[in-house]
Chain A
Amino acid sequence: MELTTRLCIPALAWLLAAAPLAAETCYVGGADNGRLEFRGAVEGTGFTGTFGKFDVRYCMPEGAPVEGSIEVTVALGSADSDNRDRDEALLGPEFFAVERFPESTWTSTAIRSTDDGYTADGELTLRDITAAQSIAFQLTPDGEAIVAEGRFTMGGSAEIDRSRFDVGIGEFEDPEFVRNRVDVTFEVVLNAE
């Protein structure tokens, strides 16, 4: 094989492989133009909180959300449930332990289309534990319109079992005291980078 050919074939292959990547656009947003809310319950009485600081990054080939990937970073120290004692406990060592684990991340591993929008499987890291966690979401606008507008709103929800991540240890482990299920809802406007 001639030297030119030996050099050109890998170069061509690399270019072909890289071609779809070149067309990928990343959309970013966060707490400034969105809301990330969590709902839990203590002794059967519900409470709601929000995270004041989080970032979302959704990269996808042109108008193809299912082929994309999503990354979410949440500053756990920004949790605010409108109650001083509860927030102190949430940020403390029994729950988020923000001094040791200031951030939580979620990264998608696969996105599929559903009747209601999309479901993304992914991995959630809370404290020092990483476990599978899926989220359901909708995009407005969706598909090709995303490219035309250069922005979209992503809204959805997830049901997190806090016990899988050791959030709430010691006396708080008891699900009769603090419910294990935490409902997370979000809505964020993502703009093309």
Chain B
Amino acid sequence: MNIPIRNTRDAYGLIAQFFHWLIVVGITLQYIWAWRADETDSIRLEYQLVVQHKSIGMTVLLLAVLRIAWRLFNRPPALPDGMSGWQRFAAAFTHWALYGLILCMPISGWIYSSAAGYGAEFYGLLDIPDLVGTSEGLEDVFHDVHELLGTALLVVAGVHVAAALQHHFIKKDDVLKRMLPKWN
């Protein structure tokens, strides 16, 4: 396997790929955990899943901050030459919308949890401080915000995946391959 640490003109480097795929795993777990918490009849399991959901969410937040910081210091590879202006705009818009949603999702959940008066811990190791005082009004608002952002993230991530697949299978360029390790 051959991946440079930093991004090159043609492909993402090891650090960017590491953050990208770890965030993908984290976000996927978050949706599965949220769905399981909604579905279960066991109050205890629901409680445990929500506690774990918060720890995973804080991990994603941390990774997203590092990912964005790394992106600012290490420019991503250039887009293929054949892309039109609106495609370039759509690509940039989708990426920054994704970053924004990935940051706002855990923060909205954090505010929701704080307003609800639940203490939160990071994998049982550290107490997560409350962002706001308890307030049923804020709890209701941020419950809805968290769900809305969750749906928006699902849509934007779907567009992102569809675009990557379209580049790979229809346009047959290297846009998807840039985010994959080269096994030769």
Contacts and interface: CB of A to CB of B under 8 A. Distances in A.
A115 interface: no
Which interface class (under 10, 10 to 19, 20 to 34, 35 or more) fits B? 10 to 19
Interface in B38-55: 42-44, 47-48, 51
Contacts of A84: 116-117, 136, 139
Contacts of B8: none
Contacts of B48: 43
A161 B42 CA distance: 24
B44 A171 contact: yes
A44 interface: yes
Given A84-B136, A84-B139, A171-B42, A43 B47 contact: yes
B118 interface: yes
B10 interface: no
B100 interface: no
B119 A174 contact: no
B94 interface: no
A170 to B, nearest CB: 8
A45 interface: yes
B139 A171 contact: no
Nearest to B47: A43
B174 interface: no
Interface of B: 42-44, 47-48, 51, 116-119, 121, 124, 134, 136, 139
When A and B form their complex, which 7 residue pairs have the shortest distance between CB atoms, in order from nearest? A83-B117, A82-B117, A82-B134, A177-B44, A45-B119, A171-B43, A171-B44
